[in-house]
Structure 1
């Protein structure tokens, strides 16, 4: 019969150690006398670090699901006690006014080498996967697109080593790739060679990405969505230049433009009620919370009734937030922090994310956490990553407050 401690350790590891085989197995003799250190307690300043005894780890997983409630319990009290130092209002306003400049310098320095391509979005968001591609079919396609995978992997490694300040998000993509490489998949069908891409005047749906950066999200899903037309914008002119200089940029399928959605309206060619799907991938967190209403109201106006917004962003108590806590002097406001390069990051609870969208009229289809445990075997540390994911829908039926009438519109949202 399992003891209480054994049960807790299994919960802490985030999975059933005895009931699930892992892809990598390690010899515990190599770890004799060592303990895995929980970085949550380290960064939050706890006097006693939580650890897992090496004999209880029969195998090694670098990336696994873990229970959110446990992460929350281990960090909340430390964060509430420690977070007292806040940047002055004068400094906060300075970074708000110069937000575009900091991101523009970021893309000028890093170009398109910083973030990895997000080749997984269509697997998470079904409206972006009209051909119902599975993970294996996706992997075959993106592997084929790499002319020299070994050189590509080497270049990515060098870029990651040279850019560690703002690179938290890449840990997720890198570990997804490691998991996928564990199984060899033979190339059986190059499905993409038989796909006909529709031009703008022929398209059957429209997608808009807010805060597109260098195009790491929009370009991977262009081919997978041949029937859709795409808009992508960023408030950094250098980021938009990178998108337009991409070899796959073609205005028959994609229009990129500069827009600061935190302070401006969308350009005239983005008409009200014209967009089927909007993507917000690690972008709302870079915007001051005071601007959320304006940003989301603007997106709401652009969507067709029945249109959807997909969100993926940083969650409260993510490892990145604990790093800010450890450094001190980085807090701009509640859940809002300053990076050393002048860019900013907000950490969401699912409730805050949901409330922000519902305030401007959206209906929440889901708002949830994705929480992972990342282990570094060499350093014997265990780290938690927390993201929020959401799908928000513009209702088919809207009430006109000016004349108290209700209008019903049939959805043309791409399924």
Structure 2
């Protein structure tokens, strides 16, 4: 027998790899894929698919604020093979009935199946029944930076991949890096080891772009400062807690940042690391640093993500809020929940306050206490962070990114869910929301002259 044939046959007869780690065996039946038909009942989309429009959205913000999306296409042609693009264009690959899901590694806009949904409900109930004990809950909540310091001490800058897809998901980041854009200040909150900041700087042709990369982990900041690309002319890294009180150092603002001086705030998987009790103060601090018209670029975990469903006993701290095995915390959001936090929207109606209303409300609370602003310091009277009013951002864009990742060898399906939004501070001081805004401004100036 031909040795090569024998080798091939023996490979085919080998047992498949263990599908799941021991710690995930409980999730096996909900993520394992049964054999599927290879015939398709629905033909793939053709090139006649309508192009993406560029009309303004319902908030009056130019559509270029939305993520860049191609028309649906699954061609394997070398001239149009989505698997080879860098970065890969998310949001364009739709799973249809009868498709071979192993044709690609990931599919967009996929709702979970009934088995996974039922398993999720069962998992949530088990998590609630066996929560983190009170002693550990206090330990993890009282000093969260300690656990992130340990994380970056152990993982250095190798844990997260560079986020080359950021400009595709948030077009304003492409705008601010263009030559001639002028002076632009970007604040990244929860910058980690610089996996977002450095890719932005590497593509930048704008000498006026300055990134302030902040993290409440001292080890993370050290990693950024030690990077060979670190140049203080274009990037400044500092320790800062986004939920810092106004009574803390520098008035609760990041080092080197003044109120109303930032054009863009980048928050990628950072809000979920905060306790729900810290959300309001974080939103207030972001409002304070942004210029009117400035944007918050937001991406974080959504409820039902595999990372939430797979948690077992001893990880649940409160509803949708967990502690990982390394001591770091994570929250999983609903779309409506984030809209309420950032825009004060409840049942479709805005309930929050704008900037002047926040000031008036705060003054009213101080007046209720029977003291003026100066006396609040001398008399020791302090309004707690949870009692302070929260400003209202505009929701310029909001998307729920539901994706199914597959593993061909292990025949697994993994449902992921992320929340992605652009929140905007009302006003027009910031000059870098989109190129469309600049064109509109130029047209107005030309008409006036």
TM-score of the two chains, using structure 1 as the length reference: 0.66
Label 1:218 to 1:377 Cα distance change in 2 as closer, same or farther (>3 A).
Answer: same
Partner of 2:133: 88
- CA contact under 8 A between 2:112 and 2:415: conserved in structure 1? no
Asked if 1:350 corresponds to 2:335, the answer is yes
Asked if 1:111 corresponds to 2:156, the answer is yes
Partner of 2:363: none
Q: Provide, for residues 220-250 of structure 1, a one-character-per-residue CA deviation record: whole Å limited to 9, x for no partner.
A: 0113333321111111111111111111111
Label 1:241 to 1:81 Cα distance change in 2 as closer, same or farther (>3 A).
Answer: closer
SS at match of 1:129: helix
Q: Structure 2: which 5+ residue stretches go unaligned? A: 1-11, 39-99, 246-251, 345-390, 435-449
- CA contact under 8 A between 1:368 and 1:388: conserved in structure 2? yes
**Bigger Rg, structure 1 or 2:** 2
Picking from 402, 406, 422, the partner of 1:375 is 406
- Aligned-pair CA distance for 1:50: 7.1
- Aligned-pair CA distance for 1:131: 8.2
Which structure 2 residues correspond to residues 20-99 of structure 1 after superposition, within 5 A?
Answer: 51-56=33-38, 57=100, 60-68=103-111, 70=113, 73-84=117-128, 85-99=130-144
Asked if 1:361 corresponds to 2:392, the answer is yes
Tell me the distance in 2 between the aligned counterparts of 1:43 and 1:280.
Answer: 33
Asked if 1:292 corresponds to 2:279, the answer is yes
Picking from 164, 180, 183, the partner of 1:204 is 183
Label 1:336 to 1:102 Cα distance change in 2 as closer, same or farther (>3 A).
Answer: same
Partner of 1:25: none
Tell me the distance in 2 between the aligned counterparts of 1:308 and 1:274.
Answer: 12
Picking from 295, 299, 316, the partner of 1:331 is 316
Tell me the distance in 2 between the aligned counterparts of 1:43 and 1:387.
Answer: 24
Partner of 1:232: 213
SS at match of 1:223: helix
- Aligned-pair CA distance for 1:340: 0.8
Which structure 2 residues correspond to residues 8-23 of structure 1 after superposition, within 5 A?
Answer: none
- Aligned-pair CA distance for 1:268: 5.6
Label 1:49 to 1:122 Cα distance change in 2 as closer, same or farther (>3 A).
Answer: closer
Asked if 1:247 corresponds to 2:224, the answer is no
Partner of 1:138: none
- CA contact under 8 A between 1:46 and 1:78: conserved in structure 2? no
> Matched residue pairs, number?
304
Tell me the distance in 1 between the aligned counterparts of 2:168 and 2:214.
Answer: 23
Tell me the distance in 1 between the aligned counterparts of 2:414 and 2:261.
Answer: 42
TM-score of the two chains, using structure 2 as the length reference: 0.61
Asked if 1:262 corresponds to 2:306, the answer is no
Partner of 2:431: 412
Tell me the distance in 2 between the aligned counterparts of 1:96 and 1:58.
Answer: 41
Tell me the distance in 2 between the aligned counterparts of 1:365 and 1:302.
Answer: 18
Picking from 254, 269, 288, the partner of 1:282 is 269
- CA contact under 8 A between 1:244 and 1:256: conserved in structure 2? yes
**Cα RMSD between the aligned structures?**
3.2
SS at match of 2:154: helix
Label 1:54 to 1:210 Cα distance change in 2 as closer, same or farther (>3 A).
Answer: same
Partner of 2:171: 126
- Aligned-pair CA distance for 1:76: 4.8
Tell me the distance in 2 between the aligned counterparts of 1:393 and 1:288.
Answer: 23
SS at match of 2:241: coil
- CA contact under 8 A between 1:282 and 1:312: conserved in structure 2? yes
- Aligned-pair CA distance for 1:44: 7.4
Q: Provide, for residues 288-339 of structure 1, a one-character-per-residue CA deviation record: whole Å limited to 9, x for no partner.
A: 1110111111011100011000111111111111121xx2111011111111
- CA contact under 8 A between 1:214 and 1:243: conserved in structure 2? yes
Partner of 2:84: none
